[in-house]
Amino acid sequence: MAEVTASMVKELRERTGAGMMECKKALVEANGDIELAIDNMRKSGQAKAAKKAGRVAAEGVIISKIAADKKFGVILEVNCETDFVAKDAGFLAFSDKVAQAALADRITDVATLQAKFEEERTALVAKIGENIGIRRVAEIAGDVVGSYQHGARIGVLVAANGADDELVKHIAMHIAASKPEYVDPSDVPADVVEHERNIQIDIAMQSGKPREIAEKMVEGRMRKFTGEVSLTGQPFVMEPSKTVGDLLKEKNAAVASFIRFEVGEGIEKVEVDFAAEVAAISKQS
């Protein structure tokens, strides 16, 4: 039996909005598997669609650069340990230099980028007194590439066809705010669709419906699900009465691809229990 920790209960509460005891019980029944606990809670009606994992805990910056001809661009993340250093002029200059090099040489391999700047990174770490790391880099290319930067923590690159600069910028702003995972509902992977479909069928069957009836009932829910996680299916943030797909159709344009980076996605700082640490030290002395 896997240990159920307070941090696991906290994460499950944040992602489901359920009570502490419900979350603890669900984790025990799922043997500590948070994703399974969420599925089970949704099936039993204890939780609606859960928020995605990916709590932002690291510090740093997201920087994007676009080529002069607007045919390609790069986006990267450079991490540090504190918000104070994330605003430091030396750290920002280093991060910008890395991004400029990634654009100039079209470097998309993070190990190559890390090796290229290792000497400068080491010198900056010695000067600032905080660990610094080039975490990830990606490139996008297309008919026209645009970007949007929300402060230093969120960056978006969009590659579009038949779109002007203003439209691409507005689409990038929408992506920053609404966090779509795919361009179009048809892009949602079959395994993701099947997983959600099974959950929705189980939910429908909880009300006593036979499986064949439940399967027919979930079709509308599945269209809603694939629309919510895809760019073209989402209500456009600047004009919610239409979807992004409607907007693109009006403009005779299309989005080929996009990249959205947010500082610290998938990274968690280790939370130290100070009282436990002091107790442990006391036992050793």
Number of neighbouring beta carbons within 10 Å of residue 239? 12
- Domain count of the chain? 2
194 domain residue, yes or no = no
The CATH number of the domain holding residue 36 is 1.10.8.10
The model's pLDDT over 17-59, given as tens digits with 9 standing for 90+, comes to 888 888 999 999 999 999 999 988 888 877 766 665 544 348 9
pLDDT tens-digit profile, the chain (285 residues): 678 888 888 888 888 888 888 899 999 999 999 999 998 888 887 776 666 554 434 899 999 999 999 999 999 999 998 999 999 999 999 999 999 999 999 999 999 999 999 999 999 998 988 889 999 999 999 999 999 999 999 999 999 999 999 999 999 999 999 999 999 999 999 999 999 999 888 888 887 888 888 888 888 889 999 999 999 999 999 999 999 999 999 999 999 999 999 998 877 554 544 454 445 444 544
Together in a domain, 75 and 133? yes
Together in a domain, 141 and 160? yes
Together in a domain, 113 and 77? yes
Together in a domain, 49 and 63? no
Together in a domain, 86 and 141? yes
- Residue 132's domain comprises 59-179+252-262
